[in-house]
Amino acid sequence: MAALVATTGAPALAEDSLVSLAKQKSLTDTPGGPKDELRRLGVDVNVWVTQFFQGIPAGAIDRTARYGGKMDMFLRVDGEKLGFWKGLKFNAQYEHYFGRNLNRQDLALLPVNVAQAFIERDGYHSALSMTLTQELSEELSVTIGKFNMLTLAAQTPLVGGGGIDTFMNRAFALPSTGIGVSSPESVADRLIIAPPYLLGGVAALKTKYFDLRVMVADPRNAQQARVITRPFERGVGAGLMATVPIEIGGLNGFHTLRFAYSNARGFDLDDIGERRQAIARLRGLTKKGFWFVSYAVQQYFVQSATDPKLGWGLFTLATLSDGNPNPVRWSMLVGLAGYNLMTGREDDRWGVGYYHYGLTQPLLSGLAARRINRRSEGGVEAFYNFAVTRWLRLSGDVQIIDPWNPLRARASYLGLRLQTIF
């Protein structure tokens, strides 16, 4: 009888183990395992490895293809569970680059793979971000440290961000009114109002009717060591963001208004055609202060009855800036994105969107005076993220871009992305 029970029960146990493995949040997150025990103590550790294979089948002279990837390590600490005071939180993220990527291979203005755009083989090979949060009440919190803006963008409803599991192009994954470039020391990067990393602080207020965030930060890219050792020596940037939830027909929606200003100096684009040499040396021709304002809408069209965060719908974003020294006068995004609510595919994500970055006329005229013809850039992107399991995701991505270099033909980009959560 014992032998009969053992032989008939073994397949059932094996099947249960496979089902449990498929439903785990991560490959190593077993019930009662080390990660589970650490969480009981207030320590949450996650490791993501994302691999990319992306090519340009049309629009590039040599039909370039690149393979590379990125490793993300996350550490979240609950200070209260560790014996400190209530409301204390610590977060750290370490990123490491490997392989190569397609950014700047076809002279597109915005990175087509933002996850690898700011840590790469020829620049910063890795990056570390750390923040400390104190929750003063259920509604009010204050956070200081070095912020990873890609990770913050990933929290955006519907469209997501960060380039890891939704859109790959920077226009969607890290939208801003500045030029997204791979080299943090370049001229263009110094004109970005929203760099990929910021050093500063955020106060967040959550109420029943609206969410309000106030941020004060060094306007420079915090990847530069000088920003850490000599913060705010070139000026300060401040931003105000208000989000109002609006329900339409029982479906959730969010309207977000953001305004930012910095007293830092940028290059005066009115003079770009007269003194090209000075601009190349990053000296002189500066103009103090720049601002931008944006308005975003995320509206669910279909929503899960059990989890309001699951669903799909419309996202839009429109921005406007001073146009000098900011090189992007205006930009816009529009598209559909979210989770697939079909039975058995609830963890899948998908999206399709259009973007356009309208470059300011002083920049285009100045470059034309130097016989460098450029134009505004636009494109479309679509992706589908297939959840093989909750910790293994395979994405297909396609982008079609009219690059800002008019001498280059319309380019198409095809990509595969495999994410493993350990």
Give per-residue pLDDT as tens, 406-415.
Answer: 888 899 999 9
Higher-confidence residue of 121 and 401: namely: 401
pLDDT of residue 17: 57
Query: Lowest-confidence range among 110-124, 130-144, 220-234?
Result: 110-124
At residue 29, the 3 state secondary structure works out as coil
pLDDT at 391 over 70: yes
Residue in the block written with tokens 């830092």? 264
Answer yes or no: are the C-beta atoms of 263 and 286 closer than 8 Å. Answer: no
pLDDT band at 124 (very low <50, low <70, confident <90, very high): confident
pLDDT at 6 over 80: no
Whether 226 is covered by a domain: the verdict is yes
Nearest to 374 by CA among 359, 386, 387: 359
- Joined tokens for residue 372: 């460098």
Nearest to 353 by CA among 309, 316, 299: 316
Nearest to 191 by CA among 234, 155, 149: 234
How many domains are contained in the chain?
1
Whether 145 is covered by a domain: the verdict is yes
Question: Which CATH number fits the domain that encloses residue 335?
Answer: 2.40.160
- How far is CA 357 from each of CA 49, 99, 106, 176, 402, rounded to the nearest angstrom? 31, 29, 17, 10, 11
pLDDT at 181 over 60: no
Domain interval for residue 360: 140-421
Find residue 396's DSSP bridge partners: 384, 416
- Joined tokens for residue 380: 């479309």
Average pLDDT over residues 256-260: 94
Which letter does DSSP use for residue 107 in this model?
A: -
Tens-place pLDDT, residues 291-337: 889 999 999 999 998 888 899 999 999 999 988 888 889 999 999 99
Tens-place pLDDT, residues 324-370: 888 889 999 999 999 998 888 989 999 999 999 998 898 888 888 88
How much is the CA Rg of the chain, to the nearest whole Å?
Answer: 23
Whether 27 is covered by a domain: the verdict is no
Mean pLDDT of the chain: 86
Nearest to 293 by CA among 240, 363, 345: 240
pLDDT of residue 184: 38
pLDDT of residue 11: 54
pLDDT of residue 255: 97
Residue 103: CB atoms within 10 A of its CB come to 23
Residue 270: which residues within 8 A CB-CB, separation 6 or more? 324, 362, 366
Report percent pLDDT > 90 for the chain: 57
- How far is CA 136 from each of CA 85, 131, 139, 140, 414, rounded to the nearest angstrom? 11, 16, 8, 6, 46
Cα–Cα distance measured from residue 259 to residue 292, given in angstroms and rounded to the nearest whole number? 6
- In degrees, rounded to 5, the angle at the alpha carbon of residue 100 between the alpha carbons of residues 172 and 153 is 25
Whether 398 is covered by a domain: the verdict is yes
Highest mean pLDDT among 183-192, 258-267, 372-381: 372-381
Tens-place pLDDT, residues 31-86: 888 998 999 999 999 999 999 999 999 876 667 899 999 999 999 999 999 999 99
Whether 134 is covered by a domain: the verdict is no
Residue 104 zone, left/alpha/beta (φ > 0; ψ -120 to 50; rest)? left
Whether 334 is covered by a domain: the verdict is yes
Whether 56 is covered by a domain: the verdict is no
Highest mean pLDDT among 20-24, 187-191, 343-347: 343-347
Whether 360 is covered by a domain: the verdict is yes
Higher-confidence residue of 47 and 189: namely: 47
Cα–Cα distance measured from residue 304 to residue 351, given in angstroms and rounded to the nearest whole number? 17
Q: What values do phi and psi take at 39, rounded to 5?
A: -65, -35
Cα–Cα distance measured from residue 240 to residue 213, given in angstroms and rounded to the nearest whole number? 6
Amino acid at 367: L
- Joined tokens for residue 395: 């994405």
At residue 2, the 3 state secondary structure works out as helix
pLDDT of residue 288: 81
pLDDT of residue 209: 94
pLDDT of residue 371: 87
Find residue 417's DSSP bridge partners: 52, 395
Residue 201: which residues within 8 A CB-CB, separation 6 or more? 142, 143, 144, 145, 215, 216, 217
Residue in the block written with tokens 């293809």? 65
Average pLDDT over residues 177-188: 42
